[in-house]
């Protein structure tokens, strides 16, 4: 068991009275994977911020780079990935930190919950031990205190009979309960940012609702910022304050949830919205679809990445990639010919 890592704390972090730095500031983050003969540009320069206590949803399909970017922030990518750009957590630069220093951050500054709870938990270890392990990685607590803290955490995630659960194995719990345990582990040391990477995708819809309610309530309680990564726009609409849409490694739209769904600007976001089966729609109605597939991330063509599929594409779209700009207060999009009121 490692001794708790002591992360170097630069002066900037404690000197928060100078200027309130956002909790997490991502600037120009790029992630490239080096495969056999090619490079895959999984994330191509994304920038966003996360404020304390904020709920941000990052929405995208597979290949959009949403998961890879979060893993890059957490320092979880394999050696074949090269990360460029800047990620500042409370002013401290994370890109380029050694694994030892990153370990000091993981669990304490930020944490992540993954999609498959059965894969996140060690099947041969009791649930309680996994939580105490997480606690004692960062804090010097005795066995008894760690035990008590773990039971508190289990109570916090609304697991029935927490004292008993402490001694159970993961396979004795249902999927929803396992995910609660994973959340307890993630929150064990009070991180300020929690990444939830498709955390509810593998769960039943009723369980999903319970877990999302739990996450949001915990957020209120602890003041943690929540970054939800998902493909589900409905989830974003219901639970997030701000929504960021990613496509082919770039951010293509960002807006507060209410404004985004009231008026979408980027045609890709509109396509996503249209493609979701909705209860309000009549059955047997064909969904509006956009054909084609996301671009191959190994060879990025010039111009907008969505151009080959966009119904509203025009010549300039194919030549110059539109930058992500804040065209309206709090609303960003990367499109030359946006929809709705943004249209020129």
Partner 1 sequence: MLASAREGSAVTDGTVTEGTADTGSDILLEVRHLVQEFVLRDFGGAKGGVLQAVSDVSFDLHVGETLGIVGETGSGKSTLARSVIQAPPPKQGEVIFQGQELVGLHRNALKAARRNLQMVFQDPFSSLDPRWPVTRIVEEPLIAYGIGTGSERRERVASVLDLVGLDPVRYGARRPRELSGGQCQRVALARALALEPKLILCDEPVSSLDVLVQAQVLNLFEKLRAELGLSYLFIAHDLALVKQVSDRVAVMYLGKLCEVGPVREIYSEPLHPYTLALLTSIPDPDPQVGRRDTANHIKGELPSPLDPPSGCRFRTRCPLAQERCAEETPELRPMSDGHYVACHFPLDGWQTSAIRRVPDQSRIADDIVDNRPASPSFQSQETSL
Partner 2 sequence: MSLPAANILTTASVAPAAEVAGPAAGRRWVRNLEIAVPATILILLLFFCFIWPMVYPVPKPVGGSLTTVNLPLWSKGHIFGTDIVGNDVMSRILYGGRVSFEVAAGVQAIGLVVGGLVGLVAAYRGGWTDAVLMRILDVFIAFPSLVLVLAIADSLGPSETHVIWALSAFSIPAFARVSRAAALRLRDQPFVVAARLSGSRPWRIMFQHLVPNMLPQLLTFSMLGASLTIILEGALDFLGYGIPQPTASWGNMIASGESFISVYPRYVVVPSIFLLVTAISLNLLGDGLRARWNVR
Pairing of strands 325-328, 242-247: unpaired
Confirm if 257 and 237 have CB atoms less than 8 A apart: yes
Q: Kindly state the greatest CA–CA separation across the chain.
A: 67
Q: Which is nearer to partner 1, 249 or 267 (CB)?
A: 267
Nearest in space to 27 (alpha carbons), one of 87, 92, 67:
87
- Shortest CA distance to 170 belongs to which of 214, 124, 219? 124
Nearer to partner 2, 54 or 179 (CB): 179
Q: Which of 10, 20, 96, 288 binds partner 1 (CB under 8 A)?
A: 288
**C-alpha span between 307 and 100 (Å, rounded):** 43
232 binds partner 1 (CB under 8 A): yes
Which one of partner 1, partner 2, none interacts with residue 80, CB within 5 to 8 A by kind?
partner 2
Stretch that binds partner 1, among 17-25, 80-88, 140-148, 286-294 (CB under 8 A): 286-294
Name the binder of 88 from partner 1, partner 2, none, CB < 5-8 A by kind: none
Q: CB of 53 within 8 A of CB of 223?
A: yes
332 is an interface residue for partner 1 by CB under 8 A: no
Instruction: Choose the contact partner of 34 out of partner 2, partner 1, none; CB within 5 to 8 A by kind.
Output: partner 2
Q: Which of 10, 96, 223, 292 is in the footprint of partner 1 by CB under 8 A?
A: 292
Per DSSP (E only), the strands in 76-124 are 81-89, 92-93, 110-113
Task: Provide the binding-site residues for partner 2, judged by CB under 8 A.
Answer: 33-38, 40, 42, 62-68, 71, 76-81, 106-107, 111-112, 114, 119-122, 125, 130, 133-134, 137, 185, 296-298
CA dist 263 and 261 (Å) reads: 5
Give the nearer residue to partner 1 in terms of CB position, either 18 or 205.
205
C-beta of 142 vs 277, nearer to partner 1 = 277
Partner that binds at residue 291, options partner 2, partner 1, none, CB closer than 5 to 8 Å by kind? partner 1
Asked if 123 is part of the footprint of partner 1 (rule: CB under 8 A), the reply reads no
- Residue 278 binds to partner 1 (criterion: CB under 8 A): yes
Q: Give the integer Cα–Cα distance in Å for 192 and 73.
A: 14
Q: Which of 143, 277, 329, 344 binds partner 1 (CB under 8 A)?
A: 277
Report which of 104, 39, 40, 47 is spatially closest to residue 75, judged by C-alpha positions.
104
- Please tell me the distance from the alpha carbon of residue 114 to that of residue 202, in angstroms, as a whole number: 10
149 backbone dihedrals φ, ψ, rounded to 5°:
-65, -40
Interacting residues toward partner 1 by CB under 8 A: 61-62, 160, 174-177, 204-210, 212-213, 216, 231-239, 257-258, 261-264, 267, 270-281, 283-293, 311-312, 339-340, 343
């Amino acid at each position: 068991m490692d001794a708790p890592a002591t992360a170097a704390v630069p002066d900037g972090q404690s000197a928060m009275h100078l200027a309130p730095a956002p909790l997490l500031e991502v600037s120009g983050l790029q992630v490239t994977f080096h495969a056999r003969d090619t490079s895959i540009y999984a994330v191509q320069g994304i920038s966003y911020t996360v404020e304390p206590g904020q709920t941000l949803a990052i929405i995208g399909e597979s290949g959009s780079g949403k998961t890879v970017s979060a893993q890059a922030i957490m320092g979880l990518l394999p050696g074949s990935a090269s990360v460029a750009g800047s990620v500042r957590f409370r002013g401290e630069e994370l890109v380029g930190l050694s694994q030892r220093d990153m370990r000091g951050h993981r669990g304490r500054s930020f944490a992540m919950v993954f999609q498959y709870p059965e894969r996140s938990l060690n099947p041969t270890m009791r649930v309680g031990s996994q939580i105490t392990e997480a606690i004692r990685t960062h804090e010097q607590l005795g066995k008894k205190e760690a035990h008590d803290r773990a039971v508190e955490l289990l109570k916090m995630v609304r697991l029935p009979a927490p004292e008993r659960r402490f001694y159970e194995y993961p396979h004795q719990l249902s999927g929803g309960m396992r995910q609660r345990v994973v959340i307890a582990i993630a929150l064990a040391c009070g991180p300020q940012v929690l990444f939830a990477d498709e955390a509810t995708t593998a769960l039943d819809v009723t369980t999903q609702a319970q877990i999302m309610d739990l996450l949001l309530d915990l957020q209120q309680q602890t003041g943690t910022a929540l970054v939800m990564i998902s493909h589900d726009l409905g989830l974003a609409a219901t639970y997030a304050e701000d929504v960021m849409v990613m496509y082919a490694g770039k951010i293509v739209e960002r807006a507060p949830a209410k404004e985004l769904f009231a008026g979408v600007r980027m045609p890709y976001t509109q396509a996503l919205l249209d493609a979701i089966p909705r209860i309000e729609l009549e059955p047997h109605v064909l969904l509006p679809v956009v054909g084609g597939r996301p671009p191959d991330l190994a060879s990025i063509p010039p111009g907008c990445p969505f151009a080959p599929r966009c119904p509203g594409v025009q010549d300039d779209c194919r030549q110059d990639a539109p930058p992500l700009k804040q065209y309206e207060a709090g609303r960003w999009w990367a499109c030359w010919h946006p929809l709705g009121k943004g249209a020129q």
